[in-house]
Amino acid sequence: MKSIKDYILKLGFIFKEIFKAGSGVFFLSIGSMVISGISPVVTIYLTAKLLDELGQNLGNGSTAVYLRILVILFSMLAFIVISFATESVKTIICSITGLKLSHNIENLVADKFQSIKQERIDNPEFLDLHSNTLTKCGSEPLNLMEGLFGMVASFISLIGYAVIIIKFNFLALLIIMIFILPIIFYKRKYQGMLFRFFSERTMQTRRIWYYLSLITDPMYANEVRVFRLYDYFRSRRKELFDDFMKGNSKIAAKEIIVSLFTSFISMIGAILVGVWLVKDAIRGSVSVSEFYLFITAIITIVTKLIALSNQIASNSKSMMFINYIFEYMQESAVLDNKKLKIKDIPVHNIRFEHVSFKYTGSDNYALKDINVNFSTKDTVCLVGENGSGKSTFTKLLLKIYNPTEGRILLDDTDLNEYDINELRSYFGVLFQDYVKFSDSVRNCIGFGNINRIQDINGIEKAAEITGANKFIENYDNKYETNLRKMFFNDAIEPSGGQWQKIAITRAVFSDASVLVLDEPTAALDPKSEVKMFDTFKIISELKSSIIVSHRMYITKLADKIILLDKGMLIEEGSFEELIKLKKEFYNMYKIQADSYSITAEYE
How far, in Å, CA of 55 to CA of 515, rounded? 93
pLDDT > 60? residue 53: yes
Domain 2-329 falls under CATH 1.10.357.10: no
Question: What does the domain layout of the chain look like in residue ranges?
Answer: 2-329, 349-602
Mean pLDDT, to the nearest integer, of 199-226? 85
| Domain 349-602 fold | Rossmann fold (3.40.50)
Higher pLDDT, residue 560 or 7: 560
Judge contact between 382 and 328, C-beta under 8 A.
no
549-570: pLDDT as tens digits: 877 778 888 889 999 999 999 9
pLDDT given at position 393: 93
pLDDT given at position 600: 39
pLDDT given at position 239: 92
pLDDT > 80? residue 23: no
pLDDT > 90? residue 99: no
pTM over 0.85, yes/no: no
pLDDT given at position 367: 94
pLDDT > 60? residue 597: no
Higher pLDDT, residue 27 or 479: 479
337-370: pLDDT as tens digits: 788 898 888 889 999 999 999 988 888 999 999 9
In terms of C-beta density within 10 A (0-12 exposed, 13-18 middle, 19 or more buried), how is residue 284 classed?
A: exposed
Q: What share of the chain is helix, strand, coil (3-state, %, to 5)?
A: 70, 10, 20
Residue 1: band (very low, low, confident or very high) from pLDDT cuts 50, 70, 90:
low
374-399: pLDDT as tens digits: 988 888 999 888 888 988 999 999 99
Find the range with the poorest average confidence among 9-18, 263-272, 423-432: 9-18
Find the range with the poorest average confidence among 52-61, 240-249, 382-391, 451-460: 52-61
159-178: pLDDT as tens digits: 888 888 888 888 888 888 88
Higher pLDDT, residue 529 or 286: 286
Q: Is 279 left (phi over 0), alpha (psi -120 to 50) or beta?
A: alpha
Cα first-last separation, the chain: 82
